[in-house]
Amino acid sequence: MSAKPQHYDLIKKPVITEKATMASENNAVVFQVAMDATKPQIKEAVENIFGVKVKAVNTTITKGKAKKFRGRAGERSDKKKAYVTLEAGNTIDVSTGL
């Protein structure tokens, strides 16, 4: 199967943090995904875009914080992250891009 345009709409960007790097040691990759994305949709999108076999998908929703910017109150938007565990032998190099 080939990647469809809606697959690129689901997966916004890879998350590169200290925690995400630790997850990569366990053959997992972390992506920021659309808020309405479901686990089966995320699995299908990652398999088609990167050509790998996905073992499991776990998701978390981080609520936006209230912050001040130049003295004005503002709110960060909510984010949804997907922890995608890959089958043994599959890898994704997130530093190269799509």
pLDDT at 6: 84
What stretches of the chain show up as alpha helix (H) in DSSP?
Answer: 5-10, 18-24, 39-50
Interval 3-29 mean pLDDT:
89
21-70 per-position pLDDT tens digit: 898 888 999 999 999 999 999 999 999 988 899 999 999 999 999 999 88
